[in-house]
């Protein structure tokens, strides 16, 4: 397949404003490709997202924007000054490449068209290059690639290399398209998603669906070295509501303000640490690897553990906050910061032990397995908890955790049905945080999809952000709040920098926003922020769980959505993907309680 064919697809997707049409275009392309070049389908599932591998395989090419611009300029026989002028104007390397390479550049030897197969092999070759003069080698390869492209091909080639496609396509969109293409029903995406939750690799899902059909897709096993999408907790309007959702004895666990982590050890002894975004963060925590080897029983030849990694205050005892821990997220001076910011892991679940899948076992069985391998409990600890039949005791334990400076508690069922449900937000786990006990009603993880220009003191930067919840059923982001309070001067410098590469010139297809709330700038869903609000209201400006409501005054039905009143930004949540944000369905549950 010529890359020009793929770039034509990308152009259709980028110019499509309907989320449903977006999925249909992608489904049609997958289906036709599978008929003509079936071996290419897995590759296309990655490239549609601007990736060359799933997130957990660290697929970053390591090409800086500056190097890419330099290669594009040389491929087009243009000067650096002209290139940088275009970049300052457009803010998108893809558009710069498209303009500089309007026509295929003249070369001494005629070059063939770029094929998808050649691109795929070349990108993997670039990723493997390291050592002295590696940047020079990468630059030469990039120049060669761009010399084989023109116009929109160059634009999308640049975006693939920077892994920022701006097409409105994400993992769930691809699952929708695969369901439509190979089962004929978009509703079958739920079956594909269950498989994806234990195997977050779209290429494997696509290949298995084509080869095994819908009936065989559920047989994909969990695997050490391939992260599992984490199980999430529900929330209740008050602690008294816990007994309505969970019967029998409760396990009430401390909820810390740290980073959730999934730990994999294979039979050879290799240890890999994954963030909740399913990114390999092993290199950030060399000390944790040593602790695991010293403090987990030797009988645990392979395992998958879940826990919360916390920054420790060794002088005063207790923990330091999340922002302190985030200082460990770096690629340089790792050993130095490991000493400055010591950590511990508080384990709360085990999903596999010695190649046995424990996800379908009850929480009680998993707990016993976890306890059996935690020995020294110095830096690899069991999370703190109590067992009780009384909600009042859960409340007392919650108060104790808050007084100590923790975030709250997670209340867990111990019944026969207390399985580990990957990727699900399930009533077997209920979270209760200190913010729920505050005069303000709740905290939410919202996705920034737009920005409004500031006035007065904020002139020249953002005045407020348009934020959205994630509708899991429709794979869309629905506006819920215009956020201006809580934006400090530091954040007003940081947020535009984080969002610059995700700015698009029109509303992304997966975003649902009313015309009255159109922002000055649109962004692809990328940045997650934690927000606190006074209450949830219904109104006509936002689309979160929008539904028909009877207006008692006029006797007519109106479409109204949920909105947050007096929202205030707390912090940026770099550890969460857009799809990990607060669900629209959660907002409905809280509002109705």
Query: Domain holding 144: CATH number?
Result: 1.10.3260.10
Same-domain status, 465 and 349: no
Encode the chain (593 residues) as per-residue pLDDT tens digits. 999 999 999 999 999 999 999 999 999 999 999 999 999 999 999 999 989 999 899 878 889 999 999 999 999 999 989 999 999 988 899 999 999 998 766 665 667 889 999 999 999 999 999 888 899 999 999 999 999 999 999 999 999 999 999 998 999 999 999 999 999 999 999 999 999 999 999 999 999 999 999 988 988 999 999 999 999 999 887 788 898 899 889 999 999 989 999 999 999 999 999 999 999 999 999 999 999 999 999 999 999 999 999 999 998 888 998 889 988 988 788 989 899 999 999 999 999 999 999 999 999 999 999 999 998 899 999 999 999 999 899 999 999 998 998 889 999 999 999 999 999 999 999 998 876 655 445 689 999 999 999 988 788 889 999 999 999 999 999 999 999 999 888 888 899 999 998 999 999 999 999 999 999 999 999 999 999 998 899 999 999 999 877 676 677 778 899 999 999 999 999 889 999 999 999 999 888 86
- Regarding whether 401 and 458 lie in a shared domain, the answer is no
Asked if residue 363 belongs to a domain, the reply is yes
User: Among 144, 162, 180, where does a domain finish?
Assistant: 162
CATH number at residue 267: 3.30.470.30
Domain boundary among 388, 406, 437: 437
The answer on 110 and 256 residing in a single domain is no
| In-domain check, residue 168 | no
Neighbour tally for 292: CB within 10 Å: 20
Q: Tell me, yes or no, whether 172 lies in a domain.
A: no
Does one domain contain both 520 and 374?
A: no
Catalytic (active-site) positions: 255
- On whether both 521 and 460 belong to a single domain, the answer is yes
Domain boundary pick from 397, 419, 437: 437
Contact assessment for residue 386 and residue 412, using Cβ atoms and an 8 Å cutoff: no
Note whether 117 and 259 are same-domain residues.
no
Regarding whether 490 and 469 lie in a shared domain, the answer is: yes
The Cβ of residue 450 has, within 10 Å, a number of other Cβ atoms equal to: 26
> Do 268 and 378 share a domain, yes or no?
yes
Q: What is the pTM of this model?
A: 0.88
Is 216 part of any domain? no
Report how far apart, in Å, the C-alpha atoms of 331 and of each of 282, 283, 334, 509, 526 are.
Answer: 11, 8, 7, 35, 22
Q: Could you tell me if 65 and 79 lie in one domain?
A: yes
463: domain range?
442-592
Is 182 a member of any domain? no
Question: Do 427 and 466 belong together in one domain?
Answer: no
**127 and 68 share a domain?**
yes
Overall number of domains in the chain: 3
Query: How far is CA 136 from each of CA 67, 68, 142, 252, 331, rounded to the nearest angstrom?
Result: 9, 11, 10, 56, 22
SS3 311: strand
CA distance 122 to 126: 6
In a domain, 68, yes or no: yes
Are 111 and 139 members of one domain? yes
Q: Where are the beta strands (DSSP E) in 358-415?
A: 380-382, 385-388, 408-413
């Amino acid at each position: 397949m010529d890359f020009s064919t793929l770039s034509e697809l990308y152009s259709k997707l980028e110019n499509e404003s309907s989320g449903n049409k977006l999925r249909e275009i992608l489904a049609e392309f997958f289906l036709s490709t599978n008929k003509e070049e079936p071996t290419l389908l897995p590759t296309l599932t990655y490239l549609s997202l601007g990736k060359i591998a799933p997130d957990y395989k660290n697929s970053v090419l390591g090409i800086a924007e500056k190097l890419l611009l330099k290669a594009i300029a040389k491929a087009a026989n243009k000067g650096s000054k002209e290139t940088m002028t275009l970049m300052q104007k457009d803010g998108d390397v893809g558009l710069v490449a498209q303009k500089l390479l309007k026509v295929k550049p003249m070369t001494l030897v005629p070059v063939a068209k770029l094929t998808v197969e050649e691109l795929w092999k070349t990108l993997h070759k670039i990723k493997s290059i390291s050592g002295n003069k590696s940047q020079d080698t990468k630059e030469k390869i990039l120049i060669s690639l761009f010399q084989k492209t023109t116009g929109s091909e160059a634009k999308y080639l640049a975006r693939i290399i920077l892994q920022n496609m701006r097409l409105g396509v994400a993992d769930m969109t691809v699952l929708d398209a695969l369901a439509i293409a190979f089962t004929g029903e978009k509703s079958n995406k739920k079956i594909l998603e269950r498989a994806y939750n234990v195997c977050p690799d779209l290429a494997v899902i696509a290949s298995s669906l084509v080869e095994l059909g819908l009936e065989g897709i559920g047989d994909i096993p969990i695997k050490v070295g391939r992260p599992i999408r984490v199980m999430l907790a529900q929330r209740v309007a008050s602690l008294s509501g816990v007994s309505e959702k969970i019967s029998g004895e409760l396990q009430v666990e401390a909820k810390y303000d740290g980073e959730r982590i999934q730990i994999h050890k294979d039979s050879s002894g290799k240890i890999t640490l994954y963030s909740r975004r399913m990114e390999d963060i092993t290199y950030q925590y060399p000390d944790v690897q040593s602790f695991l080897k010293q403090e987990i029983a030797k009988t645990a030849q392979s395992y998958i553990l879940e826990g919360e990694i916390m920054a420790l205050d060794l002088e005063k005892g207790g923990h330091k906050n999340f922002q302190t821990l985030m200082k460990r997220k770096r690629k340089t001076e790792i050993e130095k910061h490991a000493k400055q910011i010591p950590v511990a892991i508080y384990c709360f679940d085990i999903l596999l032990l010695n190649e046995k899948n424990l996800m379908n076992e009850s929480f009680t069985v998993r707990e016993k397995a976890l306890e059996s391998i935690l020995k020294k409990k110095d830096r690899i600890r069991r999370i703190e908890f109590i067992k009780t039949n009384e909600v009042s005791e859960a409340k007392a334990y919650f108060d104790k955790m808050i007084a100590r400076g923790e975030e709250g508690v997670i209340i867990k069922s111990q019944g026969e049905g207390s399985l580990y449900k990957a990727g699900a937000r399930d009533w077997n786990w209920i979270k209760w945080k200190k913010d729920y006990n505050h005069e303000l009603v709740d905290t939410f993880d919202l996705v920034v999809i737009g920005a409004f220009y500031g006035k007065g003191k904020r002139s020249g930067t953002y005045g407020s952000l348009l934020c959205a919840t994630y509708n899991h059923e429709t794979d869309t982001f629905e506006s819920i709040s215009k956020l201006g309070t809580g934006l400090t001067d530091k954040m007003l410098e940081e947020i535009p920098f984080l969002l610059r590469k995700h700015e698009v010139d029109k509303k992304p297809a997966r975003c649902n926003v009313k015309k009255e709330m159109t922002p000055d700038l649109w962004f692809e869903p990328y940045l997650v922020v934690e927000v606190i609000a006074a209450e949830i209201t219904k109104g006509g400006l936002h689309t979160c769980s929008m539904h028909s409501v009877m207006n008692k005054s006029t006797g007519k039905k109106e479409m109204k959505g949920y909105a947050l009143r007096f929202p205030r930004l707390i912090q940026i949540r770099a550890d969460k993907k857009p799809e990990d944000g607060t669900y629209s369905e959660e907002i409905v549950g809280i509002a109705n309680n």
